[in-house]
DNA sequence: TTCATGTATTCGCCTATCCGAATACATGAA
DNA sequence: TTCATGTATTCGGATAGGCGAATACATGAA
C-alpha cells in the first residue's frame, strides 16, 4: 500500500499519462485497437490532417505504446499492448460511477 | 470493440487523463490512497509548497477525483474511488511489461 | 534515375499550464 | 472582534505542447 518511489511515478507519467494527455491520441489508440492502420488510413478515418496524426503517432511511438511495420512506402501502426485499452475502459467506468454517485448526491 | 464516441473520449480526457498530466498529482493521489490528509500534511509529506499542493488539489477536486471534508480550519482530502489507484497500478504493470519486452528485443 | 505515393519534420504562432511569491480568505478559539 | 492557523487565489514570468502550412524524406515501381 506504500507509494511507489517518485522515479517510478515519473516513468509512469512520462510514458503513459503524458501520452494520454491529448484526446486525439486517445482516439488514435482506440482506433488502432480496433485495427492496425496506415497513417493515411488513420487520418481519413479520424478526420485529422496527416501531419497531425503523424505527430501524435510519434509521441506514442517514442513512449513505446505503439509499434510500426513497413508496408512498402506506408507504415502500419499497431497497439503494443491490448491492456492499454482495458485500462482506458476501466477509467471510463470509474468516471461513469463517480459522476453517477455525484449526481445522486446532488438530487 | 468499437471506439467510444468522441464526446466520451473528451470526458475521459478532461476528467481523468488531464488530471494525471502532472507527476505531482499522481504522487498526491497515491498519498491520499495511503491515507486521507490535510493540505499541510500533504505538503509536508511530499516536500511541496502549500500553494502548489492546494492548486493541484483544486484540479483533482474539479474533476471529482477527490472529496473534501472540513476539520476545523483544516480541510481533509481523500480519494473518491480506490479504483483510481488500481488503474494507475495496472498502467505501471503494463509499462513494466512493455519495457521488459522491448529490452529483450534489443538484446 | 525519376516519379508517385506515403510519411515525417520544421516553422511560426497561439494557448495552456506550471511555478514562486505574495496575499486574500475561512474557521474556530480566546 | 481579534488573532492564529490553515487553505485558496492572484500575479507575472517561464515553459511545454498544440496546430496549420509548407516542405523534406523514404520507398518501390517504371
- How do residues B20-75 score in pLDDT, each as one tens digit? 999 999 999 999 999 999 999 999 999 999 999 999 999 999 999 999 999 999 99
Any idea where the domains of chain A sit in the sequence?
Answer: 11-80
Residues (pLDDT < 70) of chain A are 1-2
Cβ-nearest to B10 among A23, A64, A87 = A23
Q: How far is the CA of A73 from the C1' of C3 (A)?
A: 14
Strand D and A56 CB separated by under 7 Å: yes
B8-81 CATH: 1.10.10.10
Contact criterion met (CB below 8 Å) for A66 and A78:
yes
Give the residue from A86, A76, A88 showing the smallest Cα distance to B11.
Answer: A88
The alpha carbon of residue A72 is apart from the nearest alpha carbon of chain B, in Å, by 23
Distance, CA of B95 to CA of A81 (rounded, Å) = 9
Distance, CA of A61 to CA of A65 (rounded, Å) = 6
Task: Tell me phi and psi for residue A78, to 5 degrees.
Answer: -145, 160
Q: Return the SS3 of B19.
A: helix
Q: Return the SS3 of A66.
A: strand
Q: Using the structure block, give the residue that is written with the C-alpha cell 467510444.
A: B4
A3/B31 Cβ within 8 A: yes
What architecture is the A11-80 domain classified under in CATH?
Orthogonal Bundle (1.10)
Amino acid at each position: 500500500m506504500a507509494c511507489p518511489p517518485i522515479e517510478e511515478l515519473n516513468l509512469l507519467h512520462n510514458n503513459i499519462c503524458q501520452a494520454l494527455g491529448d484526446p486525439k491520441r486517445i482516439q488514435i489508440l482506440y482506433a488502432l485497437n480496433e485495427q492496425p492502420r496506415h497513417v493515411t488510413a488513420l487520418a481519413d478515418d479520424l478526420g485529422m490532417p496527416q501531419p497531425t496524426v503523424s505527430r501524435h503517432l510519434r509521441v506514442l511511438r517514442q513512449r513505446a505504446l505503439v509499434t510500426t511495420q513497413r508496408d512498402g512506402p506506408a507504415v502500419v501502426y499497431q497497439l503494443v499492448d491490448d491492456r492499454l485499452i482495458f485500462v482506458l475502459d476501466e477509467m471510463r467506468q470509474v468516471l461513469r460511477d463517480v459522476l453517477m454517485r455525484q449526481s445522486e448526491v446532488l438530487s
